[in-house]
Structure 1
């Protein structure tokens, strides 16, 4: 900027313009390092929508930033330096659970607080000359972004959890890159990951196959990572797991499981309840269950039991099956018809509210088809679509 003469100063003064020059702020190396560290935290906030958090299931870089932010909040000199640039209000948030000693703000001390040993030169590499593996890890974390369509994927994660709870799916250690395919679920970094999309396979300069993925995580984020990046993450994570496909398991087997008999009966009932929802949809509202008793024994005293809607019932279909795991079979049937589960609340004979869980809004002919697919072993590939009123391939 050009220097002003005395006349210029006088003229500008008449106009009410101050022209006193401001000296450029001089920062010490320590202050520059504090600012640079805070800018890393700000970038993390912009990319992920939340401040860095503590926790063993978090990425190492997020954990490092979380401890660093705790230190910055603790030190008055740091707060005074950084508050003018704290547009996200990061310094005013609560401190984490990791104990903080307000000492030097170097990354080696931060990593030590996380229980991670570092060689004397490791910190320099982390900050200045990081290894290619560390760079890849940082890039993978940075590539996470909020999934704008997460409401579309959320039901998938909920269904997978139900399958795991029911024993329809299992988890096992991840083994091969070939397991990474669209539509499959994994557990990595303590989160469920769903491979929503996969691009065309390409050869790397090393002659290995790779492809760009769209991976959705159950915390509402997504990443456009490479297949080999997901493979590395799963291999590096001791708790990394593959979630298996829905499997009827040994529904028809020579050996029975604990608590199972060698045979069972699938029964389908209609309720004679005068509840408006039931009365209006009586031809569609069905209770589907499995029992080792006679069906007549099972429904005895139905009018006194909330599971039967406190009303008499009509048996509309039964299916005899042999060498079957009844628990797995019932869980499987309920999973298939979960989208059509009847949401109804009734009062038991003591006036307490009860929500029965085995009633579904589904036509009888669809139940017939499901049983046939159970018999031929193809049922695990299907789910019920209430909008089309049909079984569709998953």
Structure 2
């Protein structure tokens, strides 16, 4: 203590005052920049890589990738963020090449895919309006630690199906809150991941008299968590991008009243490929494409040899079924769901040597498709699933 007093006395003789240095207060804008960069750092720590662009990526990974590109491009932010950059993320060049690409992948465009609609945005990187606050991040962390899901192969097809339903419009996302219920089989979007409620335990009473239950929640990234119903609800409430994914039961396939996506007279058509691909040649009698059109089938397949959807080859129509007042979207999704386990996984090359993967082709005998159509018409299809091992429709349960 004596040494300290002597130092202070010496400084006083030199006319210097020993006053503590106050840390400069950060602006709200700087705080948001830091919070946004910290989210990117957490992503890198969790995944061992930087966030990447691409439609196959998780929506928040794509958002982080855009944000990182913007931070890299704006050198004025580097003095603020460099002390946090333990991984040297800001030293690399932005991965986006053109301005058009950057605009196509801005925060609003990406979040719109989750059903988030915001007001007009500015191009300035400092407008990181979608960065979650500490309280919001803490709420998400509180829901429970996620662990690898040991039987994820059981649930992966469910996530693929729901993702397809969202793209086709069969399902949609709603802001969580209007309906706060949580039941087995429900799907949500939480923290940028799709979440599926696989199990609901016995309800228990909390001290304030409310009902609560232990849940098993599976996430689309292959993890799961064991958490309470109230914790999930609280996290969904506080997550600005938290969403409920609606069920796919939006009414009958056929009815007396036309809806916007209904067609008065439609045709279900079944095609067989005339491709000379060796695998297709070997299994030609089993490989079929099922489609629906409100026009002429011949017009639909006129340029099949130029369309990857038709394996870049001519096709022949092997069956057609005329139907009235049908909901095209629901019917197509129903067919794809029934025969999901028999979907053809085949990659072919186009004339430039680029790999393409035809969709909506199935390894299903024609007589089974015919039976499925009849069961759709009489309403009994809901009791059946397709068993690829037996090559037949079998009653569920």
Same fold per superposition (TM over 0.5):
yes
Are 2:274 and 1:265 equivalent residues in the alignment? no
Question: After superposition, where does 1:71-86 map in structure 2 within 5 Å?
Answer: 74=83
Q: 1:184 to 1:377 in 2, by over 3 A?
A: farther
Counterpart of 2:157 in structure 1 is 155
Counterpart of 1:332 in structure 2 is 334
Q: 1:74 to 1:338 in 2, by over 3 A?
A: same
Are 2:319 and 1:310 equivalent residues in the alignment? no
- Tell me the TM-score normalized by structure 1: 0.58
**Cα deviation, residue 386, structure 1:** 2.8
Question: After superposition, where does 1:269-308 map in structure 2 within 5 Å?
Answer: 269-295=271-297, 298=300, 307=310
Counterpart of 2:123 in structure 1 is none
| Alpha-carbon separation, structure 2, partners of 1:220 and 1:226 | 20
8 Å contact kept, 1:168–1:332: no
**Cα deviation, residue 323, structure 1:** 0.8
User: Across the two proteins, how many residue pairs are aligned to each other?
Assistant: 294
* 2:230 counterpart SS class: helix
Counterpart of 2:71 in structure 1 is none
**Unpaired segments of 5 or more residues in structure 1?**
1-40, 59-69, 76-89, 98-112, 119-125, 127-132
Question: After superposition, where does 1:74-153 map in structure 2 within 5 Å?
Answer: 74=83, 91=86, 94=89, 137=139, 140-141=142-143, 143-153=145-155
8 Å contact kept, 1:271–1:314: no
* 1:261 counterpart SS class: strand
**Cα deviation, residue 263, structure 1:** 1.1
Q: CA RMSD in A?
A: 4.7
* 1:269 counterpart SS class: strand
8 Å contact kept, 2:285–2:365: yes
Q: 1:297 to 1:288 in 2, by over 3 A?
A: same
8 Å contact kept, 1:185–1:192: yes
8 Å contact kept, 2:170–2:329: no
* 1:180 counterpart SS class: coil
Counterpart of 2:221 in structure 1 is 219
**Cα deviation, residue 165, structure 1:** 0.5
8 Å contact kept, 2:274–2:313: no
**Cα deviation, residue 92, structure 1:** 5.1
Q: 1:322 to 1:372 in 2, by over 3 A?
A: same
**Unpaired segments of 5 or more residues in structure 2?**
1-37, 52-58, 62-78, 93-127
1:359 corresponds, among 358, 361, 364, to: 361
Residues 265-292 of structure 1, C-alpha deviation per residue, up to 9 Å, x if partnerless? Answer: 1122334444322232233111211123
**Cα deviation, residue 389, structure 1:** 3.5
8 Å contact kept, 1:247–1:380: no
Q: 1:390 to 1:238 in 2, by over 3 A?
A: farther
**Cα deviation, residue 380, structure 1:** 6.4
2:246 corresponds, among 236, 239, 244, to: 244
Find the structure with the greater CA-based Rg.
Answer: 1
| Alpha-carbon separation, structure 1, partners of 2:207 and 2:280 | 64
8 Å contact kept, 1:252–1:325: yes
Q: 1:171 to 1:378 in 2, by over 3 A?
A: farther
- Tell me the TM-score normalized by structure 2: 0.58
Question: After superposition, where does 1:52-71 map in structure 2 within 5 Å?
Answer: none
8 Å contact kept, 2:214–2:229: yes
* 2:155 counterpart SS class: helix
Residues 214-255 of structure 1, C-alpha deviation per residue, up to 9 Å, x if partnerless? Answer: 112223332110011112222333433221223365532445
Counterpart of 2:203 in structure 1 is 201
| Alpha-carbon separation, structure 1, partners of 2:269 and 2:195 | 37
8 Å contact kept, 1:195–1:215: yes
Q: 1:387 to 1:197 in 2, by over 3 A?
A: farther
* 2:326 counterpart SS class: coil
Residues 187-225 of structure 1, C-alpha deviation per residue, up to 9 Å, x if partnerless? Answer: 123321111222222222333222111112223332110
**Cα deviation, residue 161, structure 1:** 0.7
2:321 corresponds, among 319, 322, 340, to: 319
**Cα deviation, residue 362, structure 1:** 1.0
